[in-house]
Amino acid sequence: MTTDLEALVVAAYVFADEYPVPARGGRKPLISDAELVALAVAQAAIGISSDRQFLGLIGRVLPGWFPHLPDQSQYNRRLRALVELISSVQQRLARWLDVGGVRLSDGTLIGVANYPGCQRRSEFAGFARFGFAKSQHRFVYGVRLVLLTDERGLPLGYTVVPANEKEYEPLADLLTGTPSEVVIADKGFWGRAYAERLAADGTRLLTPDKTRTNANERREHALASTRLVIESVFANLKEQMRLERHLARTPAGLALRIAQRILALTLGMLLNTISGRPARALAAYDGR
C-alpha cells in the first residue's frame, strides 16, 4: 500500500463502510455514506476548502472513482449528518494505532465569520468568542480547538470551545476517555491546583517552568522539543489541509471540517506506519 491519494481514499471508504448507518426514507441515494466519507477525506487531504471547487476537480483527479457526484448543497448537507460516523471511524483508528506512553495536549484558535458585527449576526453568535492569538498579536473571533495526541502526534481526542475559554476543562474532559499517566502541555496549563486535580486522577502534568535557569535548562529543552510534535500536527491541519481557511458558515459546518481533517490526518498516519515512513510525514496529496 502506498501513501498516495488513491490509498487514502480506499482506506477511508473501507473503514467507513464497516459502520452501519440507519436507513433513511425515500429513494436510495446514488452515492453511499462511505463514498461521501471517502470524498470528505480526499477534500481534506488535497486542501480545498470550497466544496464547489473540490467537486469540480475530483472527477479529474480520480477519474471514474465516483460516477455519481452530488451537487454542492447535497454534499454539504449529507456530510454534516455524517459527522458522528466520521468521528467514530477516526476514534477506532486512533485506538488501533495508539502505542500508549506520554500524551501531548495544546489548543489553537480557529477564526470564524470575519466581518463587522459577526459576533451578533453570524450563525456563530452565542458560541464563538474573541480570543487573543499570541503568535499574531491580535484578537480573533472564533473557537479554540483543544487536541490530545500521543508522542507521534496521533489525534486521540479533541474538543472545540469558545476562543476565550482556557484549556483546563477541555483537557480534563478528554482525559476521562483516554488513559494517560503523563501529559506534556504548554504554559497555558499552568496552575498548581489544576496539576493536583489531574494527579488525583492518576495523570502527571508536565509544563514549562515560569523561569528558565541553568538548573532546569535541559528539562526545558526536552519539553520544548516534545511539544513541537503537537505544533506540527496543528500545522498539518491548518496549513497543509487548509483548516485555517475552512469557509464554514455554521457551527455544524465547522464541526464537519474539523472532523474530516482529523480523520484524513489519522488515515495518513496509518498508511505511513504500514509503509514504514515517519508517522507525520504526510504526502503532498495536492502535488505540492
Taking CA atoms, 61 is separated from 27, 40, 99, 255, 285, in Å, by 29, 14, 35, 26, 10
Buried-exposed string 87-114: b where 16+ CB fall within 10 A, e elsewhere: bbbbbebbeebbeeebbbbbbbbbbbbe
Place of cell 470524498: 39
CA 141, distance to chain mean position in Å, is 19
Inter-helix orientation angle 251-275/83-97, to 10°: 30
The domain spans of the chain are 100-247
C-alpha–C-alpha distance, residues 13 and 60, integer Å: 19
Q: What is the pLDDT at residue 2?
A: 40
Q: Is the pLDDT confidence value at 57 over 50?
A: yes
Q: Across all residues in the chain, what is the average pLDDT?
A: 89
At residue 208 the predicted structure's pLDDT band, cuts being 50, 70 and 90, is confident
Which DSSP helix (H) or strand (E) runs through 16? helix 5-17
Q: Which cell numbers hold the place of 141?
A: 473571533
Q: What is the pLDDT at residue 286?
A: 57
Rg (CA), the chain: 20
Helix or strand or coil: residue 165? coil
* Cβ 145 vs Cβ 182: under 8 Å: no
Which residues, 6+ apart, have CB-to-CB distance to 192 below 8 Å?
none
Helix, strand, coil percentages for the chain (3-state, nearest 5): 50, 15, 40
Average pLDDT over residues 201-217: 84
* Cβ 205 vs Cβ 195: under 8 Å: yes
pTM over 0.95: no
CATH numeric code, 100-247: 3.30.420
Centre a 10 Å sphere on the Cβ of residue 26 and count the other Cβ atoms it contains: 6
> In the chain, what is the greatest distance between 2 CA atoms, to the nearest angstrom?
70
221-248: pLDDT as tens digits: 888 888 899 999 999 999 989 999 999 9
122-137: pLDDT as tens digits: 899 888 999 988 777 8
φ/ψ of residue 74, rounded to 5: -65, -40
Of the candidates 34, 29, 42, the one whose C-alpha atom is nearest the C-alpha of residue 14 is: 34
